[in-house]
Amino acid sequence: MEDYSQEDWGNHSQDLHGYPTDQELDEIPVTKRTLKIKQESSEEAQKRDIMQNIVQILESVQLKWELFQSWTDFSRLHLSNKLAIFGIGYNTRWKEDIRYHYAEISSQVPLGKRLREYFNSEKPEGRIIMTRVQKMNWKNVYYKFLEITISEARCLELHMEIDWIPIAHSKPTGGNVVQYLLPGGIPKSPGLYAIGYEECIERPLSPHMERHSVDPGKEGRVDLETLSAQASLQVEIEPTRIIYCYLGIAEVRTLQQCLFLHFQANTKTFSKDWVGINGFLSQNCIVDPGVSPKSIYIKFVEVERDFLSAGSLVECLEKAIGYPLKFNN
């Protein structure tokens, strides 16, 4: 890394602090200032969650850290034109363990170019690293990367950036059968799609709740109201989460055609012998009186047909979510 004079050093330090002055803050109305802080905190939390997910992927494939020596290393042919998941790490003079500074999916810009930005002191990203090394906050800087295909990059985008869409269902017809109602706007183009279902996690009552079933001030007299509540609710219901169960590749057919075949054809051609995702969706349409079917969700992303055959898409998604896809095996 380049050496900088004390004057340059001061300029770099000032550039790192993009905070408004007291005068600027006074000019911002309180309501707008509060709204801005909430928006920024929400965006920061989202960025932090995405970065943690990327770190989880990098750790799951057990890559080795490489010591940064010169940013010209990233001009090497094997880095210059590849897409990748990469991480930047550091250690200190006091602790040799390498910790993550940053992690990113470089899906639009080649890895070599993106890494040069992080190790070039004239770029905002590189300036932060340069400053911390010069101030002896850090001892060495490292990097690691996992090459990915365009389709794998889009698969990770599907997971981390695209929201789930709930699938509505009709009222029971023919006794106890419901039908799925697919939303409009599903592209008539190739791509990737995922199907998931809402899981409700139940766990036993906590000791805290159990203790409150008896009024301690009445020496064993049972609080009838609490006891009644416990009788009707024997478990605590945790917040629901959506479980991925299938990743589809719309290569021969379009996204719209693939999803239609999964959801619309099932109720008309249902067979108890069906297995896999179609069997799961069909059986979910048969409900007992007064019982709703399991909540089903979809998400999709368009991908050029030529790219869909490259990469290991199911394994890519399984690494990202941390569990196997039930109906892709």
> Tens digit of pLDDT for each residue in 160-201?
999 999 999 887 766 678 888 899 899 999 999 999 999 866
Q: Residue 327, Cβ neighbours under 10 Å: how many?
A: 18
User: Are 113 and 129 within 8 A, CB to CB?
Assistant: no
Confidence band (pLDDT; 50, 70, 90) for 249? very high
**pLDDT for position 123:** 83
pTM: 0.72
The dihedrals phi and psi of 299, each to the nearest 5 degrees, come to -150, 155
DSSP 132-185: HHHTTS-SEEEEEEEEE-HHHHHHHHHHHHS--EEPEEPPPBTTTB--EEPPS-
Rounded to whole angstroms, how far apart are CA atoms 173 and 285? Answer: 10
Q: Quick check: helix, strand or coil at residue 10?
A: helix
What integer pLDDT is reported at residue 11 of this predicted model? Answer: 42
Mean pLDDT lowest among 82-86, 152-156, 268-272, 302-306: 268-272
According to the model, what pLDDT value does residue 252 have? 93
Q: What pLDDT score does 62 carry?
A: 86
Q: What is the C-alpha separation between 21 and 42, in angstroms, rounded?
A: 23
In the prediction, which pLDDT does 107 show? 83
221 pLDDT higher than 90? no
Q: Band of the pLDDT at 159, cuts 50, 70, 90?
A: very high
Q: What is the per-residue pLDDT across 227-236, written as a single tens digit (0 to 9) for each? A: 444 444 444 4
User: Which residue is it, tokens 């009552």?
Assistant: 205
Helices vs strands, H then E, count in the chain: 12, 12
Decide if 111 contacts 79 (C-beta within 8 A): yes
CB 99 within 8 A of CB 69: no
Local structure of residue 286 (DSSP, 8 states): B
Residues 119-137 have a mean pLDDT of: 86
Cα atoms found within 13 Å of the Cα of residue 9, Cβ hemisphere only: 10
The whole-number pLDDT of residue 73 equals: 63
pLDDT band at 224 (very low <50, low <70, confident <90, very high): very low
State which H helix or E strand residue 50 sits in: helix 30-60
- Give pLDDT, residue 111: 85
Q: Is-contact 182 260, C-beta < 8 A?
A: yes
Q: How far apart are CA 21 and CA 166, in angstroms?
A: 45
Q: Strand order in 140-148's β-sheet?
A: 66-67, 140-148, 83-91, 99-106
Q: How far apart are CA 235 and CA 237, in angstroms?
A: 6
Instruction: Choose from 30-44, 125-139, 224-238, 298-312 the range with maximum mean pLDDT.
Output: 298-312
Tell me whether residue 18 is exposed, middle or buried, using C-beta atoms within 10 angstroms of its C-beta: 0 to 12, 13 to 18, 19 or more: exposed
CB count, 10 Å around CB of 279?
Answer: 16
Between 9-18, 86-95, 150-159, the lowest mean confidence (pLDDT) is in 9-18
Whether the per-residue pLDDT at 18 is higher than 50: the answer is no
Helix ranges (DSSP H) in 61-86: 77-80
- The fraction of the chain above a pLDDT of 90, given in percent, is 41
**Higher model confidence: residue 49 or residue 296?**
296
Give Cβ neighbours of residue 322 (< 8 Å, ≥ 6 apart). 56, 60
SS3 38: helix
Is 70 exceeded by the pLDDT of residue 273? no
The residue-averaged pLDDT of 7-21 equals 40
pLDDT for residue 32 is more than 50? yes
Q: How far apart are CA 228 and CA 131, in angstroms?
A: 63
Average pLDDT over residues 258-285: 75
pLDDT of residue 270: 52
The mean of the pLDDT values for the chain is 77
192 bridge partner residues: 249, 301
130 burial level (CB within 10 Å; 0-12, 13-18, 19+): buried
| pLDDT tens-place string over residues 45-95 | 878 888 899 999 999 998 999 998 766 666 564 666 789 999 999 999 999
Computed from CA positions of residues 173, 294, 280, 289, in that sequence, does the dihedral angle turn out positive or negative? Answer: negative
